[in-house]
Amino acid sequence: MDSAPRTPVTAVIVVAAGSGQRLGYGMPKAKVPLGGDSILTHALRGVAAAGIARQICVAIPPGDPELHALCEAFAQDLKAERRRAGHAGDGGQLPVVTIVDGGATRAESVRAALAALLPATEAVLVHDAARALTPEAVFHRVSQALAAGALAVIPVMPVVDTVKTAEPATGGGAAIAPELVTGTAARETLRAVQTPQGFELATLRRAHDAAASFDAGQAAAVTDDAMLVELLSVPVYAVRGASQSLKITTPLDLIIAEGLLEGPLGARWVEG
Ligand code: CTP
Ligand code: MG
């Protein structure tokens, strides 16, 4: 008997509805050029190359015609590629591409996408379009953990900096420096968290249903999906991420991403 775990029917949500304030291009970050294409195009190609998605559901800024057209073109390219590869006909594992209007926060964008998943979906990976160069291997590690029974799994990296807590300096201290250190975190226990984050679909839906009633302060503190699942006391597993899976947030990150694309190792090089 085959003891290999069955791969659940998987959708990948790509959240691309942010405005890219910190990158400062005056346009949604998904549109910003990277190596001759847009950040979103790179991200979508990475998802498709991983070959794990029955559906790719993209959340874009509401009513953005350019990003809508970009997603449509990506879907057409996928079909054309598949035809060239000789899989014409039923389309095989060709993923369905769905486009939804994102929300005012990342979590709202995820919720909009969750509402548009195909009924057969069993597992979902939520991926930041801003992590445009995530290697296939990271998608596979997350997907494999879900197939092995995880309800939630995230890709992580060790933290290289020493991390301290601090608060505003008060009294006479404020005349010396703006902040006072309050402690040092144990670095070996810290992990920097990336995407794609993988979930059993019902678990992520439950987590987001609970978060839909958060007040503005609580909502602002939600920076990833796994923390919502942690609030349900569901165990969240971690697999190795990749340094080239950096989130393009600031102009420096964009320079690094350009460098990765031009570098001798290629964009989807994965450290061992
Ligand atoms: N995102 C989203 N909907 C939002 C906010 C963010 O889909 N309302 C997505 C972004 O498009 C991005 C990912 O969530 O792919 C991570 O967010 P971040 O890096 O913060 O992107 P932006 O919000 O666009 O950037 P900034 O915070 O600098 O404005
Ligand atoms: Mg943001």
Domains observed in the chain? 10-269 (3.90.550.10)
What are φ and ψ of residue 66, in 5° steps?
A: -65, -45
pLDDT at 90 over 90: no
pLDDT tens digit sequence for 166-192 = 999 999 999 999 999 999 999 999 999
Instruction: Reduce the DSSP state of residue 166 to 3 states and report it.
Output: strand
Mean pLDDT computed over every residue of the chain: 93
* Ramachandran quadrant class, 258 (left: phi over 0; alpha: psi -120 to 50; beta: rest): alpha
Name the β-bridge partners of 101.
Answer: 60
- The residue with tokens 């379009």 is 129
Q: Is the peptide bond before 196 cis (omega within 30 degrees of 0)?
A: yes
CA nearest ligand 1 atom 6, residue: 18
Confidence (pLDDT) at 83: 85
- The residue with tokens 């969240």 is 236
pTM attached to this predicted model: 0.94
The Cα–Cα gap between 213 and 154 comes to 24
Distance 131 CA to ligand 2 centre (A): 13
The Cα–Cα gap between 154 and 98 comes to 24
The Cα–Cα gap between 245 and 35 comes to 16
Segment 204-232 mean pLDDT? 94
The ligand minimizing its distance to the Cα of 249 is: 1
Looking at the CA of residue 29, tell me the nearest atom of ligand 1.
24
Segment 138-143 mean pLDDT? 98
